[in-house]
Chains A and B, each alone.
Chain A
C-alpha cells in the first residue's frame, strides 16, 4: 500500500496531477497568471555558449511575437482569450541540462508547448517527452523518429531545403561545373553534407574531392581553405557551418584570393563578413535565410504576419543581431497559435491533431504538407517552398522561392543514397 503512495513513477496522469499540484501549492504568482488567462510556452535552447546564435535571437523574436499577439487580443481558445508568455531555459547545448530544463518547464512552469533547437540536446529530452506527452518542436528534423510522435519540425526542414539553392545556382549559372565542400563533423554538419552531395549530383555538378570534415573545435581555418582551393573549384560550399566557422572561412577565402562562387546554408551576421572582406567579394554569396525586410516576403503566399515590420522592430531592439533563427521560432508560434485556436485548447494532443489535420499546414513561406516518412520515419516535418537568397550590393535578397517536395519527387533516391552513406537515415541514427 505504502509503495503505491510513494511510487515515484511518472505517467501522463501523474505528470498532470503533479504539475497542477505544484502550480497550486508552491507558486502563487503562477496561480495569478492562470487567473489572468496566461498560456506559457517553453523555450529550451542554447542562450549562452558556442551555439547561442541559434537560440538567443529566436527568443528575442518570440518576445516581439508575444507582444504583437497579446496586443491583438491574445490566443482565442474555447474558454476565452489567453495572453501568451515565454519561459526560457538555457540548455547550453548540453543534453543533461536540456533534460533538467524540460523537467522545469513542464512540471514547474506548466508550459503548454516547448520549442527547441534540437540536435545533440534532443536525446536528453526525449525520455521526458515520451513520459509526459508534451508537444515539442525542433529546428532540426533529423531529430524526428517514429519513437516520439509529439516532436514536430514545423519551420525548418534542415538540411533538405539546401537543395533549392544548388538547383537555382545550376540553372542560373550553368557554367559552374565543379565544387568542393567543408563542414564541421557533427550532428548538424553530416546530414547537410549528404544533402549537398545529392543536390550537386542532381544538378550535374562534379565534386572534386570528398567533403572536408573538420573538428568542431577548429579555430584556424587557413589549412582548411588552402586545401579547398587547391583543386581550383568553381563553387566552394560551406555546408551548414556555424557562424563561428562561416566568418573565418570567408575571411580565409578572401585572403587567399578566391574569386569563385560560395554557397552556404546560413550567413548569419553577413554584414560583419562583408566588413572583414569586401562587398565585391561577397557579391552573389548564396544562402537560404532571408532578411525579413525583403519585399518578396510581402507576397500573398507568405504566411508570416507583417515580416517587414517584424524585421524593423527586431533590428530596432537588437541591432546587428538578426540571424537565421530570429523569425523561425516566431513562425512556429504562428502555427501553434492557429492550431490551438482551431482546437479551442492548448492541450498537446488537441493542438497536434489540429495542426496536422488534412496533412497540410501554413508554413511561413507558403502552404506546405506534413511529410517525412521516408527520411525521418514519420510525417512530422512541414515541407513546402523555401527561399534562395543571394547577397547583392551588400544586402541579402530573395532570388526565388523553390519547392522542396518538387525536388524530392525528382531526386529523392539520390538524397536517400547519400543519407544512407553518412548513416543519417532515421533508422541508422
Chain B
C-alpha cells in the first residue's frame, strides 16, 4: 500500500524530473505540481436492505488550461486522494501529448463494486453526480469509465446530470454505450492507437512490419486489437499473446508456430479475457508459462495488460532481437528496465503516448455529442490515426531535437503545450 500512498509524490517527482529537463520556469512548475481544484464529498446511499451506507467521493481537476478536465472515475477499495491526484496530473499530460483540447482530471470512490448490487451501484453513481454536477459538464469536466466503472454506469451518470440541468447533455460523460451517445470505434481505439504508433516507430527505425514478429502480453481489449492491428493493418506476425485464466488462477502464454490468428482467439475468449485453452490446443496453439511472452525472439514487444511486467529481473530475458517496445498498458516498464532499454538502444513508445487512443476517441465522442452527429467507425479510426500519428511525430521530434529518451520527450511535449496554453490565457 505504501506505493499507493505515495503515488502523488511519485507523480510530482516524475514531473520535477521533466520540469528540470525542460528548464521549466520555477514559478510555473510550482503551479503544475499541484491540482487546480480538489473535491471530496460524502455520498450517502440507501442500500437494498434499507440501511444507509456512507461513501466518500473524490474529483481532482489538475489543469484545464487546454480545455475541460478529462479523466475517469474509479471505484476501487484502495482509492485515496493521493492516487486520484496522481492520475489527474497524469491525464493532463496524456491529453496534451495527444494534442486534444482537454485538461486532466480524475475521480474515484473507495469501494469494491463487487460488494454492491446493480441498484446500489446505480444509486452510488447517481449520488456521485448529485454532489458534483455543478462542477462537471461538457465545458468544465468530462468524466469517463475507469477501473471498476462501466459504460452502463456512465449512462446512469449522464442521465442523472441531464435531469439535474434540465436538458439532455450526453457530452458530460464519455465512454457511454453505443446508442446511448457513445462513439463507434471505442472498442478498437486503444489497441489500434497502439498499432498506429508502432507503425510510425517502425518507419522511423526502418523496420519492415511484414517481416517482423511481435509478442503481446495480455488478451484484454487493448491487446486483442493490438494483435488484430499488427497482423491486419501492418501485415506482421504476432507470435504469441498471454492471458489470465480465471479458472486456473494462472497466466498463460499462447503461441502458434505460424503466428496467432487474433480473430480466432477472440472468438474463443470469454468476456473476462480468458481463452479456452482446450480449443486453442486443438487449433494447433501451444500453451506455455504466463511469462514466456517476454523471452520470445521477436522485433516488437507489446506489454498490453499490467503494470511493472518488464522489471529489473524480467528485462534480462528480453531477446536481443527486440528493437521496439510499445507500452499498451500503463507503466509496464520499471525505471530499472528502462535503463536497460536505454543502454541497449531499444526504442520505447511510452505508455501515455502509446495508449492515448482511448482518450482520443473519448474526445471524439464528446465532439460527436456536441454536434449531435455521429461518424462511422471508419471515420473515427481514420481521425484517430491522424491524431496518433501527429502525436507520435511531435514526441519523436522533441526526442531527437533535445537528445532525450522518448518517455521524457513525451512529457516535455505535453508540459510545454500546457504551459503555452496557460500563458496564452494569461494565467502566467
A binds B: no
